[in-house]
Chains A and B, each alone.
Chain A
């Protein structure tokens, strides 16, 4: 930290201060509150683009790090930074909040509280993705709960009380384990070094050398599950998913967009950030269990989705299935699969966010989400139906659109690890997970048919106008990303690549050969070797002319089977 407030902190502060300002505006000035929120979220989005602009994609290290002591006697710091794992989630958060703020112009009930909650939520979500200190992470992680629960509680549907309390208590209870695990980690670090710290870079450095878990017995496994359980609930994964359909169904549209788009990703992000690098041996041991849970979640979520009478519940269950693909990819512990899983996080945010937006646009008009009251809308609202079709197909995972690339890579990576017989994975897994792709077509096509095809049976619908231009534009932004992500995914894959490779090597490499965030000379070269460099060029790339020492070989893939000797 060399001076003033850094770019990351500023980006968090924009919505935070915005929220405080919104709270000061009298409730009567509805228009002013809405426009203020729009400007603030727009500003935060631009700020995140500025962060993206200076982001260096050639390193796996944290960038734009800001650190300051917070509660020094307990080793708690305010320390934030971004790497390849978090950069896109950071941008996705500001984008989705901005877009949901635009939709929220339809909100007329108590706008002051609503829009301040939206902005508080944004600040907290951004904090989650940049925190490098575990307690700071936990603070932001929990801070997202309040505004979301309030949004469900005040602006939700008919069963909102139950949904809000279930959402709050369920995820809150699970994260108690997270907090306890974090304290245990810090205490153990103190026992080893005499310094208590919640800084993940410091802890990971000890883990990488093998000293941290040396002679601790089953402690690693216990703490791994303490962390991972909280994250599994957040994803959510089968069988801890039942809070999600209730929360989604009752939440207002913007809440659903953000819940599906960003909040669920906090779970999978946490896996990449904590579960893998900090507990390498335990993670590798747990891989078959988690992979099976992911497979069951993919199939179960899809099957349950097919029988939902409510369009939002259907999409909620489809989220369970789609997040299953994310976890499937991440825990394949294979570069292809992990990249696919990480990328699928973004795609799910875009596609499902767009689906909830479209459902919201219709709900504003008809005030129903039941399939029985829809049907035949294609004739009445051709533009709406065309946009819905595109978003639906992206969720189906049609190639050329964003959903395909993530799913393809996640499944391919899972197949690779399973076929190689690594980590006790079974070749049956990718075959079963693949059925989820068939089922996605079943429930989504069924949904589309129910809403858009056939004759119009509900006379209310005969007076419906098509979308307004600004609504088309709003959905259009999602469509743009849907095609961008599908046709040129390298834009999004490239910045993630090094950090994902590092997360993988932090997990599967032997102690001593693992990369660490603290050792700035550690880098991963373009062929996937972990190397130690002496100098960097001005753009951050490795200077190959200077001396490079290779620490470990290419371990991007699970198995390298050498060709048989020819007889």
Chain B
């Protein structure tokens, strides 16, 4: 993806969104955290260990960091961001709070959803739409991650309809993003609630999540499309391995 793919106006729009989101973050970050913690009574097992690991990864390098996770519910990104760091950390290191690419139909269909998505560092995408529009969203994410921001992408493209991560579902766009960001680190996150048997709209109230993290620097000798697809599959394959460990541990 070439640098020129994003017009100056679009860059300014993203930077403005970042500034507004950051300005209001002392308000919305604690509110969303409180909703998850006390409203929905979600819990993350060993949350201190997970947060320590994420903070260590953030501190050890300035290289671009892309978070790639499994995807089972519409609210996975909320749970993942909460698992990775607390409100005080995010208010100190706002770039650690990941940008998201939620489905337009779910998170940007009304004006109030659009306001929330705007504040929550979202760049909505219309899945299955014109390829150029999807590529433009990826280019925005590339621009942000190259500037030191973090982004969260679901490399399967959508919620796993089988309830399990599938290598064949790997969307090559993630690999394309990684290959366009020199030195990019990929933080693979496997998050699943104990009661999450398959995909659903939302985790249940009172859910306990178990989370694992593994950092990758995917490399490939292949060029072009094959290279991008190879990188995507390396990431999804890692998630499959992490899923196996998750289920083995549960037994």
Genuine A/B complex: no
